[in-house]
Structure formats: structure tokens, C-alpha cells
A and B are shown apart, each in its own frame.
Chain A
Amino acid sequence: MKCRKIAIIAPFGPQTGGMVELAKVLSTMFEEGGHRVTRVNKSRRGFAPVFAGRLFFAVLRAALNSDCLTIISGSGKSLSLIDLPAVLLGKLLGKKTVIDFVGGMAMEEAKNWPFHKKFALRSATVVVVPTGKMLASFIDQGIRARYEVIPHTADVELFRKAGEKKHPSGKRVLLSAKNFESYANIDHLIKCASMISGEVPGTELWVAGGGPEERRLKKTADEVFPEGSYFSERSTTRRWRKSWQKPMCSSTRQGTKASG
């Protein structure tokens, strides 16, 4: 396979989540495949205008030195504020532009997007979506683009090793790893785990993540299933990103590294 020069414009952290995880695994995958990768981090750091200026020049530099711009995108603001300019810049320079789309909410909400968000997808050379279901939903919603279905990749080898390391703790652990947004319905899982513990004693629910619903979810856990709910702390999650093998600390309200 010919070596490609690929620029990846994506959030590479410091935050966590699906897009960051995908950016990390995708860029490593290309490098391991012998391709040259330029990473452009679109996670905002510092004062907005300064960040925007730096980002523009980083994208320009990456575009000039690459065959293809791959933009990891979701339905948030960056789709129009960062990704659309990157796509247009790529086109101007004669580069191929690929938007790798992440984000399930778009499967219901994309039809309500303003024109400039739809235009970002339409302007890209190809929009990659991870499932046939997502492709069908975009087509049904009239989002015009040239699509390709390529599943997301995961660090399968790492998690296979993790699976082999299970030790007999005697507990029955249910794990949730999803950001604390209202649509994630983690309160459903707390109620569910509470019901399960009535039939399977020793059941615990470990909740890894962070987000705006954190306070409400902890309150729900305290009311519904205080004896078996454990939440990861963001700082702890980040630390575990570097040392995922460490066993879980079982003290109250601590959690586990679950994803990535």
C-alpha cells in the first residue's frame, strides 16, 4: 500500500469521549500502517481568537503537507466553525477532504441543522459514517453528501488483554461508560442495578464518565442504590488513561478506567 500523508484534524484532548478516543486510535492505526500522520488538535485551549488563529495556521500547514485531510467531527459547533473552513481550505488547495462523523444525536436531529452545518458535509469529498443505520438516517433526513460506511476502530488488542486479567472478586459488576448527558439515561442503569441487586446480591454498578448530569446522577444513586453505585472521578479517569491495568479502588465514589 502506498504511503499516504494524512492530516487528522480532531479533538485530541485534554477532554475525554468518543471523538478523542477515535482520534487517538485512528492516528495510531495509520502510523502503524506506515502512513505519515500530522495531528491538528481542534480542542480549544486558551483565549479564543488566539486559538482560532493558531488553529488556522496549523490546518494550513497540515493541508500543504498532506494528501488528504481527515476531520473527525460531530454535530457540535466545530462542524461549522472549524470543520467547514478546514474542508474549504482543503478544497482550495486541491486536497481530498474526509469527514469522519461521530455522534448519534444527529441520527434524529440532522434534519433541523442550519444550512451551514449541512453544507460542511456536502462540501467534503467523502463523509465516513460508522454504521449502515447512520447512513440510512442521514439519507432519510435529506443530508446530501458522498458517503462511505467504515466502522470505528477500537483498541481491541488492549481490551482483549484486559479481559484476560479478570480476577475472581466475587462481586458482580455492571459497567457503564458514557458521558453524563441526559440522553445517556444513566439514571435508568442505577434503577436497573438496584433491582438486579435484589435478585443477585453483591451486584455493583460502576459508572465511568463525566458531564453536566453528574450532580443529579450522584443524588439519584444516593437515593436509589447507595450501597452499590460507584462513580469515576474525571481526574481519576484521566490518570487511569495512563495506567489502565491498576485495580479499581473500592472506596466510596471512585471508579474505573473503562474506555480508551
Chain B
Amino acid sequence: MAEADVLVHATRYESFGIVLAEAMAAGKPVVAYDAGGISDVIENGGTGFLLEYGDIEGMKEKVVELLKNRDLYRRMSGNGMAASEKYTKRSILKDWEGLFGRLCN
């Protein structure tokens, strides 16, 4: 992940995609098909680009745009790193502790 520029993801099925959160944390923009729950994790135009399923040409264009436009790349990279805060163990632990609290009390 450290040496990568962009995470590309073409899956048809995805409930969440832990690797998407990992990529954002590492400051790597994501270019993916808009499938399953991916749009709940990646903000189209903010932390990456989401394409219609099967749009290989569109995916190419967006990756090229990211590789050539350093300002866009830096903006998306920063947005991703900030957005990944939602998925830290500290943050998610609170949700789980809340759930356990409601279930066990």
C-alpha cells in the first residue's frame, strides 16, 4: 500500500471493503465501481471516484486524471486520511460498547 498511488477496485459485490478504509488511511485515492456498500465508504469526488459497474473506460479516465492532476490527488488523499478516522478502532469500539451496553443491561 505504501508504494501504491491509487487503489483500484472493480468488484461487483462488496458489503464494506476493509481495504478501502485502509487505502484512505494511507492517503491513497480509490477508483471503484459503485457496487454494494462501497458508496457508504467512498465519497464520489471526495475520497475517490465511483463508476458505473463495468465502465472500464471511465475508470481509466479517472485514474489518469488522478495521476496527472497533483492538486486533485493531494486533495483526495487528504480527504481520505481524514475520513478514515471514522474507522479507527477507537471510534468503532464506542459503537460496539454501546451495543453491548444495550444488550447486556
Residues 56-105 (chain B) with a chain A CB within 8 angstroms = 56-57, 59-60, 63-64, 67-68, 81, 84-89, 91-93, 95-97, 99-101, 103-104
- Chain B residue nearest to A29 in the complex (CB): B89
- The reply to whether A185 and B4 contact each other, CB–CB distance below 8 Å, is no
- Chain B residue nearest to A152 in the complex (CB): B16
The answer to the question of B14 belonging to the interface, with a C-beta cut-off of 8 Å to chain A, is yes
- The reply to whether A259 and B18 contact each other, CB–CB distance below 8 Å, is yes
The answer to the question of A156 belonging to the interface, with a C-beta cut-off of 8 Å to chain B, is yes
Which chain B residues lie closer than 8 Å to A129 at the CB level? 15
The answer to the question of A88 belonging to the interface, with a C-beta cut-off of 8 Å to chain B, is no
Which segment of A20-28, A41-49, A113-121 sits at the interface? A20-28
- The reply to whether B3 and A185 contact each other, CB–CB distance below 8 Å, is no
- The reply to whether A156 and B84 contact each other, CB–CB distance below 8 Å, is yes
Which chain B residues lie closer than 8 Å to A128 at the CB level? 99
- The reply to whether B15 and A160 contact each other, CB–CB distance below 8 Å, is no
Which chain B residues lie closer than 8 Å to A167 at the CB level? 2-3
With contacts defined as CB atoms under 8 Å apart, how many contacts are there between chain A and chain B in the complex? 238
Contact with B along A230-260 (1 / 0, CB 8 A): 0000000000000001011000000011111
- The reply to whether A33 and B2 contact each other, CB–CB distance below 8 Å, is no
Which chain A residues lie closer than 8 Å to B93 at the CB level? 29-30, 32-33, 153
Q: Smallest distance from the beta carbon of A231 to chain B beta carbons, Å?
A: 15
- The reply to whether A188 and B99 contact each other, CB–CB distance below 8 Å, is no
Contact with B along A107-136 (1 / 0, CB 8 A): 110000000000000000110111111100
- The reply to whether A125 and B103 contact each other, CB–CB distance below 8 Å, is yes
Contact with A along B1-31 (1 / 0, CB 8 A): 1111111111111111111011101111000
- Chain A residue nearest to B15 in the complex (CB): A104
Q: List 20 A-B contacts (CB under 8 A).
A: A18-B16, A32-B93, A107-B15, A130-B15, A131-B41, A133-B36, A133-B40, A134-B15, A154-B22, A159-B26, A163-B28, A167-B2, A175-B8, A177-B19, A184-B12, A185-B33, A188-B59, A192-B56, A195-B56, A195-B60
Chain B residues near A (Cβ < 8 Å): 1-19, 21-23, 25-28, 33, 35-37, 39-41, 54, 56-57, 59-60, 63-64, 67-68, 81, 84-89, 91-93, 95-97, 99-101, 103-104
